[in-house]
Amino acid sequence: MSADSDHFESVAQRAQAVRLALGVFLASETLLFTAILALVVGYRATWPEAFAFGVHHNTKVLGSINTVVLLTSSTSLAVALEMLRTGRRRVATALTLFTAACGVAFLAIKITEYEHHFAEGIYPGGRGAFFVAHPIAGLPAFWTLYFLATGFHGVHVLAGVGAVGYRAIRMPDATEIHRFEATALYWHFVDLVWLFLWPLFYLA
Amino acid sequence: MTALPIPPGAAHDERSFWTTATTIKSWLVTTDHKRIGILYFVATTSMLFLGGIFAIIIRLEHLTPGPTIVSAETYNRLFTLHGVIMVWLYMIPSIPAGFGNFLVPLQIGATEVAFPRLNLASFYVYVIGAAVVIGSLFAGGVDTGWTFYAPYSARTPATVLPTLIGIFIVGCSTILGGINFIVTIHTMRLRGLGWMRMPLFTWTIYATSIIQILATPVLGIALTVIGLDHTFDWGLFDPARGGDPVLLQHLFWFYSHPAVYIMILPAMGVVSEVIPTFAHKNPYSYRAIVYSTLGIAFVGFLTWGHHMFVAGISRFDAAAFGLLSMLVAIFSAIKVFTWVGTLFRGSIELAVPLLYVFSFFFLFTFGGMTGVAVATMSLDVHWHDTYFVVAHFHFIMVGATFTAFLSAIHYWFPKVTGRLYARKPALVGWALVTLGFLVTFTPQFLLGNGGMPRRYYDDPVGFSVLHVISTMGSWLLTLGMFVVLGVIVHGVARGAKAGPNPWHSRSFEWRTASPPPKRNFVGPIDFNIGAYAYDVADEP
Amino acid sequence: MSPIRLRIVVGLLLAVLATASFVASFGHLGSFALTVALSIATIKASLVLVFFMEVGKQSASFKLALAAGVLLLVTMLALVATDVSLRRGPSWANETTSPRRADDSSL
């Protein structure tokens, strides 16, 4: 064992510590998005018409493509983990890089969506021509929350691309597989969050 | 007679963690949890004094009605920064990151925390956040109150953003530290040391860490949206754009109520260690203390709306939060009765740490019961935003938590420094702090009940006498704090050498040298005799 | 089924569910639409949790941590929802600005 972890008695203990740390971290992250969801719940209840209107005018096709992109990326990462467990490192590396690429694609599509919103005159804070054309009470709240939620989520995707990409380059060996599992847990969590943001802002 | 397993020659180990490396660099890049604990202790205690300076000025302003020494604008900034610094830079990290870091591995028979480098990183994240908050002072400070309510926090001309960013960064440190402690306590316990044999202080650090990691992210979002509203006019809480300021209060208090349990639980952990030691008796019910600790941590998340009774929440929510708030008092009461039961028929030694615990009992009970009082919605309508609330939370924050902090300093002083402090000056410090506290804050209950609003620059006619008494109390309290500081400094420099276990405690951190060696324990560790086994005779 | 095939099947299932959710969003389900969408989302989330994150195989403390997060999520959303939806009037912002009368006994 390396000197920085000689306080652990065994690899197994270290692996257990890393996995638990991720579990605790993800619990923390759950609360981060809970706070944003609380605002969504509060404002949806206050302004149902505005939210329905906002959802209807959102970039549903692009948002849905992004959903498929993230689901694909989670699948590829899950398969990559299995490949790593069975010793097929090359395939695992390729799939992990593919996952990172999906993350990049997600962000690219997201930026495209934002550009579309700006072109329509939709900016955070209820500024823009769209709000002048559609003076619906509560509509600014919908769009500002949309930017807040997808913005926070996007930052997490970006961090995930970095983590997954790093993992692809530094593929751990069989004794350190918990490092890969930890990265994968984070990426799947980011996917999970999107699974709920998508219906709330694009579908209903 | 059964001997406690203390290694021979542990009394004056030459290679303590202090002496293994003495360069400044060795301290700045240390991954030794004991050194990191001391770094946190020094940093957070400095913040205590900084926040205290603001408090002194606030109290001086209230010596006379109308302007006394500062303008109204400055006064608003003073009480805001006092709150921000005291809550986030002192109270939240102080006992967990200071004492917790030093003691938890010792108390569970480990050589280190689970992630030592993350531990060091957490400290630097704290320092950066604290520096940003202090830096914001020079940008003029904030005048919103530490609660940053909307829509004023979005509209104020004060520079809110640096303070928000600083607190956000400190919050990240809190989360990282919480993860580290939870994983440490789960995975690094000495083989054979089950959960229900751990020292009680470690249990409270565990419960505190759970609250930290679950509550702090919500604060992060609250601060972010306030910052976005203020800096980029996002208007999320602007009523003109459909915003609801009460929703921000939901986010803020969802964190800030559990935050007060982050502050009090470690203090309760200190009390749970000090009492068995100086009563020479095992806790009346170990399980009661453990379960009430977990109970407080859990129920503490369900009560946040009692800060919003008059904000305009629904009647349903007000009723729900009022009821749930009462539950917390049950767990606190269980603790107090268990502590008293531990003292009963104990062989009591009136050591300074125990005297601080006696102050804690008195002030925590008062503070806690006034908490139940303001949690009663019909009463809160009268007391909300008055000095009654200010007195209530200062009784808990200062009267209870700070008192326990001082108890901890005196209790673990020999363990950390290997020396003893001078008892008589320490007694003087205790008396001044306790008396000073009472004189400062008891009048504030009367002020608040009489209708004096909080955060008011001016004192309406008729409140002057109580304000003057309170201010004089603040001088007494400050004097006491400086006496304590003197006792500590003198003790570090010239205190008599302490043995490994001057208090004859059974708790596990006392089973190694004072100060401990770098790797905490020398030779095989034996925790078969429990941390509260006072039926086992000590070896002289 | 081999672990790899299992993951691929789950991935396909997720895509099918996402498509179903997408299609359903075009139907005129009114207030039912959100329930349908979130229900499908919950099913997909469960698949990810069980088969990708392997939550079932993690330690008890890991599961406890996630459960605590979910419990607080439910708590916060529930109490915010009951606040906003049960306040006096359809929406606080729609209330009149006239002061409350002395004989108005509602909170």
Q: Write down the pLDDT at residue C1.
A: 83
The pLDDT tens digits along chain B (540 residues) read 344 444 444 444 458 899 888 899 999 999 999 999 999 999 999 999 999 999 999 999 999 998 999 999 999 999 999 999 999 999 999 999 999 999 999 999 999 999 999 999 999 999 999 999 999 988 888 999 999 999 999 999 999 999 999 999 999 999 999 999 999 999 999 999 999 999 999 999 999 999 999 999 999 999 999 999 999 999 999 988 889 999 999 999 999 999 999 999 999 999 999 999 999 999 999 999 999 999 999 999 999 999 999 999 999 999 999 999 999 999 999 999 999 999 999 999 999 999 999 999 999 999 999 999 999 999 999 999 999 999 999 999 989 999 999 999 999 999 999 999 999 999 999 999 999 999 999 999 999 999 999 999 998 888 999 999 999 999 999 999 999 999 999 999 999 999 999 999 999 999 999 999 999 998 888 899 999 999 887 653
Q: Kindly list the residues from chain C whose CB atom is less than 8 angstroms away from the CB atom of residue B321.
A: 79
- CB B169 within 8 Å of CB B216: no
Asked, for residue A171, whether it belongs to a domain, the answer is yes
Q: Residue A49's closest CA among A135, A177, A133?
A: A135
Nearest by CB: C79 against B214, B244, B305: B305
Q: Write down the pLDDT at residue B139.
A: 87
Q: Does B185 touch chain A (CB under 8 A)?
A: no
Nearest by CB: C73 against A28, A30, A188: A30
CB atoms within 10 A of CB B472: 16
| Closest B-chain CA to C106 | B315
Hey, which residues does B517 pair with through a beta bridge?
B16
Q: Kindly list the residues from chain B whose CB atom is less than 8 angstroms away from the CB atom of residue C87.
A: 312-314
Chain B residues 86-145 with a CB less than 8 Å from chain C: none
Nearest by CB: B301 against C75, C84, C87: C75
Alpha carbon dihedral B336, B341, B344, B348, in 10-degree steps, equals -60
Chain C residues 30-49 with a CB less than 8 Å from chain B: none
Contact B214/A31, CB-based, under 8 Å? yes
Q: Residue A21's closest CA among B229, B472, B213?
A: B213
Partner chains of C (3+ C-beta pairs under 8 Å): A, B
Report the C-alpha gap between A127 and B335 in whole angstroms: 54
The alpha carbon of residue A153 and the mean position of all alpha carbons in its chain are separated, in whole angstroms, by 5
| CA-based radius of gyration for chain B | 23
Contact C11/A71, CB-based, under 8 Å? yes
Q: Write down the pLDDT at residue B156.
A: 94
Contact A21/B179, CB-based, under 8 Å? yes
Alpha carbon dihedral B231, B236, B242, B243, in 10-degree steps, equals -110
* CA distances (Å), origin B277, targets B30, B172, B202, B361, B408: 31, 35, 16, 16, 12
| Closest B-chain CA to A148 | B225
Contact B235/A32, CB-based, under 8 Å? no
Q: Kindly list the residues from chain B whose CB atom is less than 8 angstroms away from the CB atom of residue C61.
A: 186
Cα distance from B34 to chain A (closest Cα, Å)? 14
Contact B315/C106, CB-based, under 8 Å? yes
- Stretch (H or E) spanning A28: helix A11-46
Q: Amino acid identity of B189?
A: R
Q: Kindly list the residues from chain A whose CB atom is less than 8 angstroms away from the CB atom of residue B235.
A: 125-126, 140, 144
- Please classify residue B468 by burial: count the beta carbons closer than 10 Å to its beta carbon, then call 0-12 exposed, 13-18 middle and 19+ buried: middle
Q: Tokens standing for B451? A: 């209708």
Asked, for residue A155, whether it belongs to a domain, the answer is yes
- Stretch (H or E) spanning B82: helix B72-84
Q: Does B246 touch chain C (CB under 8 A)?
A: yes
Question: Which residues of chain A register pLDDT less than 50?
Answer: 1-4
- CB B132 within 8 Å of CB B214: no
- Residues comprising chain B, all counted: 540
Contact B183/A17, CB-based, under 8 Å? yes
Q: Kindly list the residues from chain B whose CB atom is less than 8 angstroms away from the CB atom of residue A145.
A: 236
The three-state secondary structure class of B113 is coil
Q: Tokens standing for B16? A: 């303590």
Chains A–B, number of C-beta pairs less than 8 Å apart: 111
Q: Write down the pLDDT at residue C98.
A: 47
* CA distances (Å), origin A145, targets A54, A84, A100, A186: 11, 40, 27, 24
Q: Does B311 touch chain C (CB under 8 A)?
A: no
Phi, psi of B453 (to 5 degrees): -75, 155
Report the C-alpha gap between C77 and A41 in whole angstroms: 7
CB atoms within 10 A of CB B376: 15
Q: Write down the pLDDT at residue B465.
A: 95
Q: Residue A43's closest CA among B286, B458, B150, B248?
A: B248
Q: Does B218 touch chain C (CB under 8 A)?
A: yes
Report the C-alpha gap between C103 and B372 in whole angstroms: 29
In chain A, how many domains are there?
1
Nearest by CB: A72 against C11, C34, C92: C11
Residues 6+ apart with CB under 8 A from B63: B467, B468, B471
Cα distance from C27 to chain A (closest Cα, Å)? 10
Burial of B19-48, coded b for 16+ CB within 10 Å and e otherwise, reads: eeeeeeeeeeebbbbbbbbbbbbebbbebb
* CA distances (Å), origin B194, targets B48, B528, B530: 36, 11, 11
According to DSSP H, which parts of chain C are helical?
3-24, 32-47, 60-86
Q: Residue A135 sits in which domain range?
A: 6-203
Chains A–C, number of C-beta pairs less than 8 Å apart: 144
The alpha carbon of residue C40 and the mean position of all alpha carbons in its chain are separated, in whole angstroms, by 10
Q: Write down the pLDDT at residue B241.
A: 87
CATH number at A173 reads 1.20.120.80
- Please classify residue C75 by burial: count the beta carbons closer than 10 Å to its beta carbon, then call 0-12 exposed, 13-18 middle and 19+ buried: middle
Contact C66/A27, CB-based, under 8 Å? yes
Q: Write down the pLDDT at residue B20.
A: 86
Asked, for residue A1, whether it belongs to a domain, the answer is no
Q: Residue B249's closest CA among B218, B227, B291?
A: B218
Cα distance from B246 to chain C (closest Cα, Å)? 9
Q: Does B260 touch chain C (CB under 8 A)?
A: no
When scoring B30, B179, B184 by the number of chain A Cβ atoms within 10 A, the one with the most, hence best to mutate, is B179
- Prediction ipTM score: 0.95
Q: Write down the pLDDT at residue B38.
A: 97
Q: Write down the pLDDT at residue B158.
A: 92
Contact C83/B317, CB-based, under 8 Å? yes
When scoring A37, A46, A56 by the number of chain C Cβ atoms within 10 A, the one with the most, hence best to mutate, is A46
Cα distance from A120 to chain C (closest Cα, Å)? 22
Given this structure, which CATH class describes domain B30-511?
A: mainly alpha
Report the C-alpha gap between C35 and C39 in whole angstroms: 6
Q: Write down the pLDDT at residue B11.
A: 43
